[in-house]
Amino acid sequence: MTTTDRAVPGAFAQVEATAQFLRQKLAARKPTIALILGSGLGDFAEGLTEAVAIDYASIPNFPTARVSGHRGRLFCGRIGDRQVLAMQGRVHFYEGWSLGQVVFPTRVLVALGARTLIITNAGGGINPAYHPGDLVLLSDHINLCGFNPLRGDNDDRFGPRFPDLTEVYARELREHAARCGASQGLTLREGVYAMLSGPSYETPAEIRMLRTIGADLCGMSTVPEAIAAHHMGARCLGISCVTNLAAGLSPTKLSHAEVSEVAARIRRTFADLLTCIITSLPADAASPGDTPPRP
């Protein structure tokens, strides 16, 4: 077995050690909502007030981002009266990290008390109703990366051996986000996100296959993080920014520059939507939740 396909050995102890390090850095702050900000979407973190920013490289056990558009900083601050953690960028399976390493930051966020996790990404649009710049709420996913972040020995302190994934992306959070969108004049569709391993973009034949099996969007992230957070009992909301039409659906070649450009174009709309979602979350969703028991 290679190191690229199983959980991090001793992950619970490492998660707790990293969480304890961050608790000391954050002092009395008790964030209950966390965000993972995908390609080109990380600027939202810099709008937090009373914020502390910590480079991933200075956080014990944290994998460091290596891709353009992922700054690699963890923010803790306020949006309105809500304490929020925000990851400015993520690491990816295609960079060579194991899925256990990819989801390690997610597990730390939940260990720090985040009951609600908002996971964002830049995705390729497969559904013909989607256009670059659209924001789509994830209703479900298809894991085609070849592995599962829960593979390997299960630690019951994280969650059950066989977690149910009937509703990884909480319906009540999707409905709440849709109401926020409507209040801003946005019609937020729901869609199924397919994760492939990358880093190459999909071929036209692969996109035809994805459409046939029910995918509306595709990308190279989000699914492992959602599984790990759900495993630990957190509620997830997935938001995909359609930054390009998938291969074979556009006359132009796909590029990371296009992804970044479209993400930048909808930055203000995206920020307004996230702000509404976070500040108007029902009180029970924003109150401190249970963290995994400590060893």
**232 flagged as catalytic:** no
Both tokens assigned to 254? 């796909």
* Candidate list 87, 226, 244, 286, residue with the active-site label: 244
**94 flagged as catalytic:** yes
* Candidate list 16, 95, 202, 225, residue with the active-site label: 95
**169 flagged as catalytic:** no
CB contact burial 137-150 (16+ within 10 A = b; e otherwise): bbbbbbbbbebbbb
**56 flagged as catalytic:** no
* Candidate list 70, 141, 230, 231, residue with the active-site label: 70
Both tokens assigned to 152? 């390997």
Amino acid letter, 88: Q
* Candidate list 148, 256, 258, 280, residue with the active-site label: 256
**111 flagged as catalytic:** no
**176 flagged as catalytic:** no
Q: Half-sphere exposure of residue 262, counting CA atoms within 13 Å on the CB side? A: 23
Q: Which of 269, 226, 263 is nearest to 242 (CA)?
A: 263
Both tokens assigned to 233? 């009992």
Both tokens assigned to 125? 């649009």
Tally of CB atoms within 10 A around 12? 19
Q: Half-sphere exposure of residue 29, counting CA atoms within 13 Å on the CB side? A: 26
* Candidate list 16, 92, 201, 202, residue with the active-site label: 92
* Candidate list 170, 221, 229, 247, residue with the active-site label: 221
* Candidate list 122, 194, 228, 247, residue with the active-site label: 122
H/E run at residue 286: helix 283-286
* Candidate list 46, 51, 61, 94, residue with the active-site label: 94
**231 flagged as catalytic:** no
Q: Specify whether the backbone of 278 is left (phi greater than 0), alpha (psi in -120 to 50) or beta.
A: alpha
**92 flagged as catalytic:** yes
Helices (H) and strands (E) in the chain, counts: 9, 9
* Candidate list 45, 220, 226, 228, residue with the active-site label: 220
Which residues are known catalytic residues? 39, 70, 92, 94-95, 122, 220-221, 244, 256
